Structure 1
């Protein structure tokens, strides 16, 4: 079971979701998407909360309101963290999560600790939790199918990008070849035997003048 929430409207159309238990968390870790950001209360047990960003967005582009929704939700779903003030919530891109053979169920490590961010939640804000709970929807998604579809779409998009890059490259090469052909053609017209010198022009002018004088 996965619980889905809608973030505050003024933050934009964003979905926040989390697993119902540790086993579900393992599935979410396994089948996450590149757009997902993972949230967890630091050093104590809590739910694994995810925020799905839009393509092209990064962890550092999350607005304050959206970040507060995610942090409040993960604090509220931590038995210890929910009772504490000034709780540290860590968050990082899904791609930075790492599982090792010795990891417990639901436990994660990080590939790059420098990609982990921390936000302090001073206290629980019931107004935020109540608003999020009103949007909650429970579903049993086929996470593998969703990831496969996302990978296929990304592959198709990349294929189109490569095709467009090839078209642009070929167009550039064609224009370069045409320009080079023009230069070669121009140089052919400029060869010495095909050019009229200033002396020849002056001589022709004198001959024309002499013809006019004879006529007169």
Structure 2
């Protein structure tokens, strides 16, 4: 079972309104460590992973749109995801000044000796961190009102995504080859026109010279 939440980025905290995120962004997480394991295995390169630092917590994800980077995520959404991690951590939920780490799914490293749901990182430099002073119930209550449970086929979804990517790559290659062929044809025609123009000019010069010689003979 995967749990889905809608982050609109709007909340009331510390006497300030958060940023309105339009369109809203979907956050999702596994219901237990075994589902977290499937999310790790069948994640997308567009996924961003969140987890409370150094203590057990839910694995929360969001999926970037094509062309987006981790820098494009609104801070209000990052805080939503971090608060969701904290609220779904037995230890973290009781602690103040908690750090939540986040990174791209592609930076997650899974080795055979790791426990179910446990991950490491390929590069620590690619891991970011947000500090939460405390749990903000307004955020959690808002997110929980949007919660939807579903049982997707994560493997199938990933395979379909990869298939679309391969088809798009093939399409780009064909388009590039077509443009290259058009460019070759264009250069060929330009060269043929250049050769024809040069030939025509040479013939004209010869004809003019012959006419001049004829005029010279008549004068003599």
Which TM class, normalised by the smaller chain length?
A: 0.7 to 0.9
- What RMSD over aligned residues (CA atoms) do the two structures have, in Å? 2.4
For residue 175 of structure 2, what is the aligned residue in structure 1?
Answer: 164
Tell me the residue number matched to 1:2.
2
Give the deviation of 1:147 after TM superposition.
0.8
Aligned pairs for 1:54-203 within 5 A:
54-191=65-202, 194=206, 196=208, 200=212
Paired position in structure 1 for 2:12: none
Larger Rg: 1
Moved over 2 A (4+): 189-197
CA–CA distance in structure 1, aligned partners of residues 188 and 124 of structure 2: 50
Helix, strand or coil: the match of 2:68?
coil
Name 2:16's counterpart in structure 1: none
Note the C-alpha offset of 1:200. Answer: 3.7
- The offset of 1:183, in angstroms, is 1.3
TM-score, normalised relative to structure 2: 0.86
Q: How many residues align?
A: 207
Unmatched segments (≥5 aa) in structure 2: 10-19
TM-score by length of 1: 0.88
State the secondary structure of the residue aligned to 1:190. helix
